[in-house]
Amino acid sequence: MHYPNRRTARLKGYDYSSPGAYFITFNTKDFYCYFGDIREGIMHLSESGGIIDKIWNEIPARYENTFLDEYIIMPDHFHGIIWIKSPAGTDAINRVRTSGEIISLPSSPQYQS
């Protein structure tokens, strides 16, 4: 498909299956509120929003080398952080998350396979 006014944020030649943390965002077409609505400051998921929540949380069961971090479903978009781990990556991910340590990802040696 050709999107004339769309530019990619992807790094040319980068292997996005490499171990590391990835921030994912997607929006609905025309920013329509398919995923639910906010009432009194609380997000109420629609059926579509519930499906996104379910599928997102099933990722680690489908792909054992993944770990889910924070995510949020908004009426017209989604943000989430997913980690792809190397075989020894689980301990390093937990250490980083609990210590607040800042590391360079995904090029940090501890995440190399």
> 9-55: per-residue pLDDT in tens?
777 887 877 888 899 999 999 999 999 999 999 999 999 999 999 99
pLDDT category, 4, cuts 50, 70, 90?
Answer: low
**Cα–Cα distances in angstroms (integers) from residue 6 to residues 1, 2, 38, 73, 96, in the given order:** 11, 9, 29, 23, 34
The pTM assigned to this predicted structure is: 0.69
Q: Is the pLDDT of residue 107 over 70?
A: no
Maximum CA extent, the chain: 46
Residues 49-90: tens digit of each pLDDT: 999 999 999 999 998 888 899 999 999 999 999 998 876 555
* Cα 51 to Cα 5: distance, rounded to the nearest angstrom: 29
Q: How is 80-112 classified by DSSP, letter by letter?
A: EEEEE--TTHHHHHHHHHHH-----TTT-GGG-
- Domain definitions of the chain by residue range: 20-107
